[in-house]
Amino acid sequence: MVRVRFAPSPTGYLHLGNARTALFNYLFAKHNNGILVLRIEDTDAERSKKEYETAIMEDLKWFGVKWDEGPDTGGENGPYRQTERLGLYRQAAEKLLQEGKVYRCYCTREETEERNRRAGKNESAGYDNFCRDLSPQDLGRYEREGRKPVLRFRVPGKKVEVNDLVRGQVVFEPGSIPDFVIMKSDGLPTFHFAVVIDDCMMKITHVIRGEDHLSNTPKHIMLFEAMGFDIPGFAHMSMTLGRDKTRLSKRHGATSVRAYRDEGYLPEAFFNYIALLGWGTAESQDIFSPEELVREFSIERCNKSNAVFDPEKLLWMNGLYMRKTTPARILNLSLPYLKEAGIAGDGETEEKMHYLEKAVSLEQEKIKLLKDVPYHIGFFVKEPVYEEKAVSKYLTEKGKEVLGAILTSFEGCEEWSIHDLEARVRDFCEAKGYKAGEVFHPLRVALSGKTTGPGLFEMIEHLGRDKTLERLKKWSA
Ligand code: GLU
């Protein structure tokens, strides 16, 4: 049974690169009818925050990554927060200490740096294995001095091979890794130790994570071996870069899932786009349903080269999914934005909701983001926001005269149907020798404040008699 995990540290909002790692774990688990575990790596007490843990879980759920075991769902292999597993790490460390596979190290950083300097090495060259074989006398002396030891792993002097499922074989030569700490002097495990204990106890079969962890993997393999655990498969995913090919960071704009969610992306568009960051089919297909992604996903198709995050492509894809979904759903999802813009309030009548839904359906082709819905449909409800350029170009003296005549004609319109409205405007153009544009543009701008929007007569019909006549009065000479 395939068991994978996503293991975020709750030190910030979910980053796009981590969202990709989470999604690939999810797709791999589902493809293999396996289990996805969510594990919260919160041992960094200073930087970990409960609110980030909650936000990460919300954002994962938002775009469709669901886990089978985790801090909220529970499961047989919990607890799923590292701070709740401290006893397990201590027990495992104690066993390794008894077996002589780890040793107590009393050195301060300054002492190690000083020794490195004296040995002609760079002071930050790493640990020199000084405490590896301390005599009982030295050990006793350090204890009496009240020093608090860390536990260091005795790195075996042999090469370590990582058979990475994406990168192939990566060899780490003997001597390239100094003895490393597994338990800190405050009794907390290091990242390396906690990860290995958890991956083993949670029966993880495949570790799928970012390439930035590849250099940690030999340490993890050595620990798995020292404890007699089965070594899981490893798959290190390429990094996600901005369009300038540097590591994706704040400089590239929004980098958290939360920011995209707030902008009004649709979860299914986000799910689809993120899946393409470092994975693809031979046919370079772009649009996939979640079911297709689960069916098609494989680690073999993950790219070794870095993925480039292209916000324009994401926006394009969002527009496409926006056109695929229903106006009712767009309306529902955009309610927070409509409320903020004063276009809809709490507990609107069914009639108003239908009116707004129809307005959305008229504009649906043009909506790219939920947050733009108020811009597109606001004028159906509130006084339009008149765009200056449009006003100065079309609501001229001549434009206003045209609108005056149209007003008179519309006042006589009883049926208020697209058909009737259009016939009146076209008759007017013909009678007065106007080109359609000379009339259509001022009409649209006077009613909506903008030069673009839905079909003119559908728009007027939906706007309704009262608002139309009122706005025409305002703008007619
Ligand atoms: N907590 C680690 C991180 O956020 C992930 C560790 C792992 O996947 O092994 O980078």
Atom of ligand 1 nearest to the CA of 18: 4
Atom of ligand 1 nearest to the CA of 195: 9
What tokens appear for 281 in the block? 């089919």
Pairing, β 240-241 against β 307-308: parallel
Q: How far apart are CA 21 and CA 14, in angstroms?
A: 11
Helices (H), 80-185: 86-98, 109-118, 136-144
pLDDT tens for each residue of 67-108: 999 999 999 999 999 999 999 999 999 999 999 999 999 999
CA angle (146, 147, 153) in 5-degree steps: 145
pLDDT tens for each residue of 298-346: 999 999 999 999 999 999 999 999 999 999 999 999 999 999 999 998 8
Peptide bond into 79 cis (omega under 30): yes
Higher pLDDT, 251 or 399: 399
Give the other-Cβ count within 10 Å of 211's Cβ. Answer: 18
Among 390, 386, 367, CA closest to 474: 386
pLDDT tens for each residue of 100-142: 999 999 999 999 999 999 999 988 888 999 999 999 999 999 9
Residue 8 near ligand 1, beta carbon < 6 Å: yes
| pLDDT bucket at 441, cuts 50 / 70 / 90 | very high
Pocket test for ligand 1, best of 56, 191, 207, 217 (most atoms within 8 A of CB): 191
Atom of ligand 1 nearest to the CA of 5: 8
Distances (CA, A) of 306 to 91, 206, 273, 303, 340: 40, 21, 15, 7, 39
pLDDT tens for each residue of 347-378: 999 999 999 999 999 999 999 999 999 999 99
Distances (CA, A) of 372 to 11, 330, 369: 31, 11, 5
394 CA from centroid of ligand 1 (Å) = 58
